Chains A and B, each alone.
Chain A
Amino acid sequence: MGVYVLRRLVISIPVLFLISVGAFILVHLTPGDPADMYITPDMTQADIELTRISLGLDKSWVIQYFEWIKNFFSGNLGFSFTNRQPVGEIIMQRLNPTLILMGVSLVVAYLSAIPLGIISALKKNSVLDRFIIGWTFFNVSFPPFFLGLALIYVLAVQLGLFPTGGMVRLGQENDIASRIMHLTLPVIVMASQFSANMIRYVRASVLDVLEQNYIRTAVSKGLTEWQILFSHVFRNSLIPIVTVIGTDLPKIIGGAVITEQIFQWPGIGSLTVAAINSRDYPILMTIVILSAIAVLCANLLVDVLYAVIDPRIRYEK
């Protein structure tokens, strides 16, 4: 197992390399010179050249790329073009709100989706099943921004139950109730997206397991429905569930662009939109690469989880 993980990590390196080259090329193909940001009207041509040299812009792209990689690994992610703060600091500030929003959304989504998926499968083709399936279609088809706006319009503006946006009210940073109220609407928007996929996967997976011989054996040896459900069905339908978690996890970093934008949530998603609007390339590049690393880690984590959950899965060497 350890060897397998190690091998997977080694395979990820070329992929990661290509990803970083892609991000680097993308950013450097853009018009404009980063040094322009540092130029003041009273600078002479020689001063400008000095700035370019101090930023490393006089060197070839290849050298710039490797210097950037070197800096990246030593934790120096460069400085934001807009406010010249270190990129690392800005990202860290924004990471926490995003992790809170996405973490809560995932938990809410899975806690509601897994029971719904199981019920839907157990009552296959019933009215309830049809309703749940129809509901998932609605969720995947509802434009997230329209859902967000509709929720703000009805629940925040018309009924005044929730705040229209933001993460905390100024001066009430430690008020848990107020934080939960701010969190509710964005969580509904995110969770509805996540839960739809999960419900369908759980349903299909449970239906599949129910047809297996060991379930028939369990029924015929007289186990109760609950025993069968918990000790046989659920455990065996976990594998596809892990797959869904694997596709959801990478979205934690960059997946909430629209939701964060609508609810003015101070996370990575709204930072991305702001960085695009102000052409803040150091920030953009870091976000893209961090998200890509998240994808690779999630893939690896899922493959390891498969083996933990299902002893039948063994990885060669």
Chain B
Amino acid sequence: MNTDKLVLVSNNSAFNEVTAGSFCDEHEKARDVPEEKIESWASITWRRFRRNKVAFGSLLLFAGIILIAILAPVIAPFNPNQTVGDFAAAPTATHLLGTDDVGRDVLSRLIYGSRVSLIVGVGSVFIYAAIGIALGLLSGYFGGMADSVIMRITEVFMAYPHFMVIMVIVSLIGPNMMTVMLVMGFMGWPPICRLVRGEVLKVKSMDYVSSAIVTGYSPYTIVFKHILPNVLSPILVNATFGIASAILMEASLSFLGMGVQPPTASWGNMLTSAQSLTTLSAEPWRWIPPGIAILIAVLTINFFGDGLNEAVGGDSK
């Protein structure tokens, strides 16, 4: 059975839709593009994606967060790691979101915290997608011994309680931004590996793959030039949702004190102090803004992923 925790993605007809989209969708084609031109996959996806207002708005919002992360040194009013005001002071005109328990500016920490979330979120998914795609292609295309070994390994990985094991390993090797990203990256590949394997198995029996084999192309060319591009859509959708969960997981680890360590600001560890009732009830400016920041980042990515899924013709769950 399928133990993927990701329920938003189903990998059924993505391939058929994508190829069908460029040839059979006459109605849409006639309306939007000149007839003599065959539209590219990216252009079709983009055109469909733009129609979804929520997803498109989310993409813009998320782009804004990326911009904030890149421009952090320019837009942050203060050094995020220095005492620049009173201890735990309420918001004022100079400190728009107040200060924390050692007098650091909350707004500046919030701005710099976006960097941690994005680096860990994107970085870990990049690592596990690379491993998962490579092993999935290997497993699906070549089958045999490699396939059974890889599948057994994914079973073992997926039997461990994911969050708990990551928490244990990170705390054993020393929690910081790098280790969180690496551990999440090396532990997260099995679902995407299984997804890729399944897609490859579907595509492998297609005529164009058989003709490529008969023509005498090397397995390398067939796998990377003929198969990978055709299984890319579900991978992209899966990876997008993966970034959202990775950001949530980093925030959760940092919140528990087992992820990014202070003084480095992360949205998760900014909420750690709210575990004490005094901070929670008397200093809401210290924990509500980072909480909302995580919510917005994760929500926008999830909406974007949903729009992308729809645009590439995935299941509209």
A: residues with CB less than 8 A from B are: 14-15, 18-19, 22, 26, 29-30, 137-138, 140-146, 149-150, 152-153, 157-158, 164, 197, 200-201, 203-204, 243-244, 246-247, 250-251, 253-255, 257-258, 261-262, 272-273, 276, 284, 287-288, 291-292, 295-296, 299, 302-303, 306
> Which of B2-10, B60-68, B207-215, B221-229 is near enough to bind chain A?
B2-10
Q: Is B7 within 8 A of A197, CB to CB? A: yes
Asked, given contacts A146-B294, A262-B275, whether A291 binds B160 with beta carbons under 8 Å apart, the answer is yes
Chain B residues with CB under 8 A of A257: 163-164, 167, 256
8 Å CB contact of B291 from A30, A143, A306: A143
B: residues with CB less than 8 A from A are: 1-5, 7-8, 10, 152, 155-156, 158-161, 163-165, 167-169, 171-172, 244, 248, 251-252, 255-256, 258, 268, 271, 274-275, 277, 280-281, 284, 287-288, 291-292, 294-295, 298-299, 302-303, 306, 315-317
Known: A140-B302, A143-B248, A247-B7. 19 other contacts (CB 8 A): A14-B152, A19-B159, A22-B160, A137-B306, A141-B244, A143-B251, A144-B252, A153-B284, A250-B161, A254-B163, A255-B163, A257-B164, A257-B167, A258-B252, A262-B275, A292-B161, A295-B161, A299-B1, A306-B1
B8 to chain A minimum Cβ distance, whole angstroms, is 7
Identify which of B156, B303, B306 gathers the most chain A CB atoms within 10 Å of its CB.
Answer: B156
Identify which of A29, A292, A306 gathers the most chain B CB atoms within 10 Å of its CB.
Answer: A292
Q: Is A149 within 8 A of B271, CB to CB? A: yes
Q: Is A258 within 8 A of B284, CB to CB? A: no
8 Å CB contact of A145 from B2, B271, B298: B271
Q: Is A143 within 8 A of B298, CB to CB? A: yes
Chain A residues with CB under 8 A of B8: 200
In the complex, residue of chain A having the shortest beta-carbon distance to the beta carbon of B7: A197
Report the separation of the CA atoms of residues A262 and B298 in the bound assembly, to the nearest whole angstrom: 21
Asked, given contacts A14-B152, A26-B172, A291-B160, whether A258 binds B256 with beta carbons under 8 Å apart, the answer is yes
Report the separation of the CA atoms of residues A19 and B292 in the bound assembly, to the nearest whole angstrom: 38
B310 to chain A minimum Cβ distance, whole angstroms, is 12
In the complex, residue of chain B having the shortest beta-carbon distance to the beta carbon of A196: B7
Give the dominant DSSP class at B's interface. Answer: helix
Q: Is B281 within 8 A of A276, CB to CB? A: no
Q: Is A288 within 8 A of B5, CB to CB? A: no
8 Å CB contact of B164 from A18, A288, A302: A288
8 Å CB contact of B161 from A15, A140, A142, A251: A251
Q: Can you give 30 A-B contacts (C-beta < 8 A)? A: A15-B155, A19-B156, A29-B172, A141-B244, A141-B295, A143-B251, A143-B252, A143-B255, A143-B298, A145-B251, A145-B252, A149-B287, A149-B291, A153-B280, A164-B277, A197-B7, A204-B315, A243-B2, A247-B4, A251-B161, A253-B161, A254-B163, A254-B164, A258-B255, A261-B256, A276-B171, A291-B160, A291-B164, A295-B158, A302-B1
Chain A residues with CB under 8 A of B316: 204
In the complex, residue of chain A having the shortest beta-carbon distance to the beta carbon of B169: A26
Q: Is B298 within 8 A of A141, CB to CB? A: yes
Chain A residues with CB under 8 A of B317: 200-201, 203-204
B245 to chain A minimum Cβ distance, whole angstroms, is 9
Identify which of B152, B164, B171, B284 gathers the most chain A CB atoms within 10 Å of its CB.
Answer: B164
In the complex, residue of chain B having the shortest beta-carbon distance to the beta carbon of A134: B54
Report the separation of the CA atoms of residues A292 and B284 in the bound assembly, to the nearest whole angstrom: 39
Report the separation of the CA atoms of residues A191 and B142 in the bound assembly, to the nearest whole angstrom: 42
Report the separation of the CA atoms of residues A56 and B243 in the bound assembly, to the nearest whole angstrom: 44
Chain A residues with CB under 8 A of B256: 257-258, 261, 273
Report the separation of the CA atoms of residues A107 and B189 in the bound assembly, to the nearest whole angstrom: 31
Chain B residues with CB under 8 A of A288: 160-161, 164-165, 168
Across chains A and B, which 10 residue pairs bring their CB atoms closest together, nearest first?
A: A146-B291, A291-B161, A141-B299, A204-B317, A254-B161, A141-B298, A157-B281, A295-B159, A254-B164, A18-B156
8 Å CB contact of A149 from B171, B248, B274, B299: B274
Report the separation of the CA atoms of residues A41 and B41 in the bound assembly, to the nearest whole angstrom: 72
Chain B residues with CB under 8 A of A201: 7, 317
Q: Is B280 within 8 A of A149, CB to CB? A: yes
In the complex, residue of chain B having the shortest beta-carbon distance to the beta carbon of A201: B7
Chain B residues with CB under 8 A of A276: 167-168, 171, 258
Chain B residues with CB under 8 A of A157: 277, 280-281
In the complex, residue of chain A having the shortest beta-carbon distance to the beta carbon of B241: A140
Report the separation of the CA atoms of residues A158 and B288 in the bound assembly, to the nearest whole angstrom: 15
Report the separation of the CA atoms of residues A145 and B255 in the bound assembly, to the nearest whole angstrom: 8
Report the separation of the CA atoms of residues A246 and B280 in the bound assembly, to the nearest whole angstrom: 36
Report the separation of the CA atoms of residues A254 and B291 in the bound assembly, to the nearest whole angstrom: 23
Report the separation of the CA atoms of residues A149 and B1 in the bound assembly, to the nearest whole angstrom: 36
Chain B residues with CB under 8 A of A243: 1-2
Q: Is B291 within 8 A of A150, CB to CB? A: yes
Chain A residues with CB under 8 A of B268: 143, 145
Identify which of A14, A141, A253, A292 gathers the most chain B CB atoms within 10 Å of its CB.
Answer: A141
A268 to chain B minimum Cβ distance, whole angstroms, is 9
Q: Is A22 within 8 A of B291, CB to CB? A: no
Report the separation of the CA atoms of residues A137 and B295 in the bound assembly, to the nearest whole angstrom: 11
In the complex, residue of chain B having the shortest beta-carbon distance to the beta carbon of A198: B7
Report the separation of the CA atoms of residues A272 and B284 in the bound assembly, to the nearest whole angstrom: 28
Q: Is B164 within 8 A of A137, CB to CB? A: no
